[in-house]
């Protein structure tokens, strides 16, 4: 009998509402049992807990581990499954759901579980920044500052509206910094609003930061956005949603296997939206064919 584990973030997409974790756990158990599968359903309790639960599920012999949550939950579970034989499946319920959108995972939970049961395995790359794996987008600059502020807001105020509010506020307050960015040994020195390392195309919600990125090409798309006024950013934002960021003046996009970013002070960054602080130099690279993930049978992108 196949062993499927489900790891639920009770906060993702809930606005802090009580009881959601229990409701999701009951639904997951019913869906598993209806398929005659061994039920192994866990609810995470704190940051990092989903990674520990996924590692424990692997030790119990799980062949598929379902991450029911947002980009952070997916990152934690995928980090435990990377370079292993088990497959990741996603039930998206976060603010951005960037990787789920990229892979065509349905948002309705029953349909998403059907992909976990009946979908096919796709092998994708993983990125690494400062020793932390990511599977969608990592970066420094404005998007990292937004990630830090979003996390600092606690559990009650989350979701897309909160992201937009923080982004608008940080756009007016954020001071871009000077970086040296080495892309496969070629250096770029400039003051940058954003430096994004993209394994996939979008942050989420259709914001295409790297429109040509592919999750399985063995490369990262490094997107460097030069500093500019907040008003210029506002005028140019629609081009991100139209997949036209490469046409925006002061934007450089290059493929890379290895990246190094240097600053005069410790660098705040994010991996799949999860905030971190590193030293004054961050090293990044790509790991080809690092993760098996369940996708809809008709997904071809």
CATH of the domain at 137: 2.60.200.40
Provide CB contacts within 8 A for 29, sequence distance 6+: 39, 41
| Tally of structural domains, the chain | 2
The answer, yes or no, to whether residue 17 has pLDDT greater than 80, is no
Read off the tokens for 232.
């210029």
Does one domain contain both 158 and 221? yes
Catalytic residue among 102, 145, 182, 274: 274
Domain limits for position 247? 132-287
Q: What is the CATH number of the domain that holds 58?
A: 3.40.50.10330
What is the model's pLDDT at position 155?
Answer: 52
Does one domain contain both 136 and 283? yes
Is 274 one of the annotated active-site residues of the chain? yes
Does one domain contain both 94 and 12? yes
Does one domain contain both 117 and 159? no
Does one domain contain both 50 and 108? yes
Q: Spell out a b/e string for 135-150, using b for 16 or more CB atoms within 10 Å of the CB, else e.
A: bbbbbbbbbbbbbbbb
The pLDDT confidence band at residue 16, using thresholds 50, 70 and 90, is: low
Does one domain contain both 149 and 276? yes
The answer, yes or no, to whether residue 107 has pLDDT greater than 50, is yes
Does one domain contain both 22 and 56? yes
Does one domain contain both 85 and 141? no
Does one domain contain both 269 and 136? yes
Does one domain contain both 139 and 280? yes
Does one domain contain both 69 and 213? no
Does one domain contain both 66 and 164? no
128: nearest Cα among 293, 300, 260:
260
Q: Can you tell me the mean pLDDT for 7-15?
A: 78
In a domain, residue 300? The reply is no
* pTM of this prediction exceeds 0.85: yes
The answer, yes or no, to whether residue 101 has pLDDT greater than 60, is yes
In a domain, residue 79? The reply is yes
């Amino acid at each position: 009998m196949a062993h499927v584990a489900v790891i639920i973030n009770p906060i993702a997409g809930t606005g802090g509402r009580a009881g959601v974790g229990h409701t999701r756990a009951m639904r997951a158990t019913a869906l598993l049992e209806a398929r005659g599968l061994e039920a192994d359903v866990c609810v995470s309790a704190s940051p990092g807990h989903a990674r520990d639960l996924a590692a424990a599920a692997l030790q119990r012999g799980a062949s598929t581990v379902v991450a029911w949550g947002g980009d952070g939950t997916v990152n934690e579970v995928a980090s435990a499954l990377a370079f292993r034989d088990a497959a990741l499946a996603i039930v998206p319920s976060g603010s951005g759901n960037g990787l789920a959108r990229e892979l065509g995972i349905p948002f309705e939970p029953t349909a998403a579980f059907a992909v976990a049961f009946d979908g096919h395995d796709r092998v994708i790359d993983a990125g690494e920044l400062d020793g932390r794996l990511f599977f969608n987008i990592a970066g420094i600059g404005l998007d990292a500052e937004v990630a830090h502020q979003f996390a600092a807001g606690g559990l009650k105020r989350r979701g897309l509206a909160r992201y937009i509010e923080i982004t608008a506020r940080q756009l007016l307050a954020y001071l871009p910094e000077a970086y040296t960015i080495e892309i496969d040994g070629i250096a770029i020195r400039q003051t940058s609003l954003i430096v994004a390392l993209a394994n996939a195309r979008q942050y989420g919600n259709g914001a295409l930061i790297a429109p040509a990125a592919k999750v399985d090409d063995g490369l990262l798309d490094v997107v460097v956005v030069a500093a500019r006024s907040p008003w210029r950013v506002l005028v140019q934002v629609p081009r991100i949603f139209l997949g036209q960021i490469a046409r925006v003046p002061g934007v450089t996009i290059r493929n890379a296997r290895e990246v190094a970013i240097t600053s005069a002070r410790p660098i705040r960054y994010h991996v799949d939206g999860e905030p971190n602080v590193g030293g004054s130099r961050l090293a990044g690279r790509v790991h080809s064919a690092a993760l098996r993930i369940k996708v809809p049978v008709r997904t071809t992108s």
